[in-house]
Structure 1
Amino acid sequence: MKPEINLITIWTDEIEKMRNFYSQVLGFRIINDLGNYVEFENSGVRFAICLRNVMVGYSNEYSKKAAGQSFELAFPCENPNDVDKSFKQLIEMGATLIHEPQDMPWNQRTALFADPDGNIHEIFAEII
C-alpha cells in the first residue's frame, strides 16, 4: 500500500440532495452518475458521493448512521475578501451557516458551512 489518498467518498442516505448540493451549490462537475454513486471532476484526489445501502451487503457497518464530525473538506479561496464573498453566495444557495468568516491565529481567513447531511466544511484563504 502507498501512503496516499486516491478517493474520498461521502456516504449518504440522501443522494439527490447531496448530488444537487455538490454540483449546483459548490460547482463540482459530475463525471459519472450511476444513480446511487456520483463521481465529480476534481484535480488530485477523486471525489464521490454514494448511497450507504450500496455497501451494506459487504458490511453492516454501512447501515450505521454517522455521528459527530468525522471529516472536513477545505476549499481554498483566492484571497480573504473572496472568503467573505464565497461564503455569502454559499449560504444564499442553500449551504447551512455554521460560522461566519473570521481571521484565525494560523494566518487564514476561514468560514464554516454544512452540506445537506450536516457535514461541516470550510472555505479559507491565506492572510498575507
Structure 2
Amino acid sequence: MKAEINLITIWTDNVEKMKAFYTEVICFEPINDLGDYVEFQSSGVRFAICNRSVMVGFSEEYLKKSSGQAFELAFPCDTSEDVDITYEKLIKLGATPVHKPQDMPWNQRTALFADPDGNIHELFAEIE
C-alpha cells in the first residue's frame, strides 16, 4: 500500500440532491455518472458520491446512519477576500451556513458551510 489518498467518496442516501449540490453550488463537473455513483473532475484526488445501498451487499455497515462530523473537505481560495466572497456566494446558492469567515491563529482565513447531508466543509486562504 502507498500512504496516499486516491479517492474520497461521500456515502449518501440521496445521490440526486448531493449531485445537484456538488455540480450547481460547488461547480464540480461530473465525469462518470452511473446513477447511484457519480465521480467528479478533480485535480489531485478523485472525488465521488455514492448511494449507501450500492455497498450493502458487501457489508451491512453501510446501512448504519452516520452521526457527527466524520470528515471535512477543504477548498482553497486565492485570497482572504475570496474566502468572504465565495462563502456568501455558496450560501446564496443553497449551502448551509455554519461559520462566517474569520481570521484564525494559524494564519488562515476560514469559513465553514454544510452540504445537504450536513457534512461540514471549509473554505480557506493564507492571510497575506
What is the TM-score normalised by the length of structure 2?
0.99
SS at the partner of 1:43? coil
Q: Structure 1 residue 44: deviation in Å?
A: 0.6
Q: Name the counterpart of 2:41.
A: 41
Structure 2: which amino acid aligns with 1:72?
E
Distance in 1 separating the partners of 2:92 and 2:14: 21
Q: Structure 1 residue 109: deviation in Å?
A: 0.4
SS at the partner of 2:62? helix
Q: Name the counterpart of 1:8.
A: 8
Structure 2 residue 47 is matched with structure 1 residue 18:
no
Q: Name the counterpart of 1:96.
A: 96
Q: Name the counterpart of 1:110.
A: 110
Q: Structure 1 residue 95: deviation in Å?
A: 0.1
Structure 2: which amino acid aligns with 1:124?
F
Structure 2: which amino acid aligns with 1:122?
E
Q: Name the counterpart of 1:29.
A: 29
Give a deviation string over 1:43-95, Cα, whole Å, max 9, x none. Answer: 01100000000000000000100010000000000000000000000000000
Gaps of 5+ in 1: none
Q: Name the counterpart of 1:126.
A: 126
Structure 2: which amino acid aligns with 1:116?
P
User: Root-mean-square deviation (CA), in Å?
Assistant: 0.4
Distance in 2 separating the partners of 1:73 and 1:52: 19
Gaps of 5+ in 2: none
Overall identity of the aligned pairs, in %? 70
Structure 1: which amino acid aligns with 2:111?
A
What is the TM-score normalised by the length of structure 1?
0.99
Distance in 1 separating the partners of 2:67 and 2:49: 18
- Equivalenced residues, count: 128
Instruction: Note the 1:67-82 alignment, pairs <5 A.
Output: 67-82=67-82
